[in-house]
Structure 1
Amino acid sequence: MGEFWPVPDVLAYLAGTWRAERSVRDLASGDEGRFTGTTAFASLDGGGLLHTETGTFVWRGVARPAERTLRFLPGQAPGTADVSFADGRPFHGLDLSSGRHIADHPCAADLYRGEFTVRDADHWRTVWRVRGPAKDLVLTTDYTRAH
């Protein structure tokens, strides 16, 4: 088996529930945080998946509930997805046919660069590097399929 696990259909692969563990490192301050929770990908009417993440985020010793919602819609090419925020603004494309994908998302003066890697049928990871005038972060999330 190679370093990456090819996924011919990203929406079919992601469908279901995943345990999510994220580390957040602020490279400027040295602060570190951790998110633990669940990411569910549920079918949307008309195709695609609704991504709902819920859990607890601990930052500087303070635990808070955290959640976010994204939409994963069928992309232009078969097996790919277009990811958007809950309000419909575009976020990034996603093509895991090689088992790996790099996505860029400019946000105001910051640049988010995400690397998506698939290890096998039940494990994938995202690493977002955020650089800008006020941000210098690395967010690493490991996803494990919930059975």
Structure 2
Amino acid sequence: MDEFWPVPDALAYLAGRWRVARAVRDLSSGEEGEFTGVTVFERSAGAGLVHRESGTFVWRGAARPAERTLRFLPGAGPGSAEVRFADGRPFHDLDLTSGRCVADHPCAADLYRGEFTVRDAHRWRTVWRVGGPAKDLLLVTDYTRDGADGD
């Protein structure tokens, strides 16, 4: 995708309920899985948004419930955010001002490299490439605003 949709206010853009479809591929084994569910970005009691994701993860033929919580705090400017784990540890910075952002997160000896692309007012995507001695994964997640028309 060569064109991106600039986001002047990242937290306002993300707020609300999104349908989630994630493809997970282990590049070393070739195994594939998928996650389907919802992500809700709600205003937190303090500043920013609380991101709650829940759904079903299917891996090796077994389906199980999965969930995670992140915090999106105001960043250096309105188009940006500081993304943190539920316990407050830093995850990565996010700047959607241009509609595209690349972020890194070192995790032990592995490196998570994420690319975030905003397609329009109702659709965005993340692509995480995870590489290192413990992991060799590709995670592609499409988010569609709940209630949005179109494909």
Residue in 2 that maps onto 1:113: 113
Instruction: Return structure 1 stretches of 4+ with deviation > 4 angstroms.
Output: none
RMSD of the TM alignment (CA)? 0.8
* Separation in structure 2 between the aligned mates of residue 77 and residue 12 of structure 1, nearest angstrom: 13
Could you tell me how far 1:79 is from its partner in structure 2? 2.6
Distance in structure 2 (CA, Å) of the matches to 1:145 and 1:79? 18
Residue 47 (str. 1) matches residue 25 (str. 2): no
* Aligned positions of 1:18-33 closer than 5 A: 18-33=18-33
Number of matched pairs: 146
Percent identical residues: 75
Residue number in structure 1 paired with 2:100: 100
Once the two structures are TM-superposed, the CA of residue 78 in structure 1 deviates from its matched residue by: 2.9
Residue of structure 2 equivalent to 1:79: 79
Once residues 134 and 86 of structure 1 are traced to their aligned partners in structure 2, the CA distance between those partners, rounded to angstroms, is 23
Which residue of the partner structure matches residue 7 of structure 1? 7
Flag structure 1 segments of 5+ consecutive residues without an equivalent: none
Counterpart of 2:36 in structure 1 is 36
Q: Hey, what does 1:17 align to over in structure 2?
A: 17
Query: Please, what TM-score do these two structures have when normalized by structure 2?
Result: 0.95
Cα distance per residue 1:33-66 (max 9 Å; x no partner): 0000000000012220000000000001000000
TM-score, with normalisation over the residues of structure 1?
0.97
Is 1:62 aligned to residue 75 of structure 2? no
Q: How far apart are the structure 1 equivalents of 2:107 and 2:101?
A: 19
Residue 102 of structure 1: CA displacement? 0.1
Q: 1:92-138, CA deviations, whole angstroms, 9 ceiling, x for partnerless residues?
A: 00100000000000000000000000000000000000001021000
> Shift of the alpha carbon at 1:76?
1.9
- SS of 1:46 mapped into structure 2: coil
Check whether the contact 2:10–2:78 (CA below 8 A) recurs between aligned residues. Answer: no
Distance 1:9 1:77 in 2: 8
Distance between the aligned counterparts of 2:4 and 2:77, measured in 1? 20
Residue segments in structure 2 that go unaligned for 5+ positions in a row: none
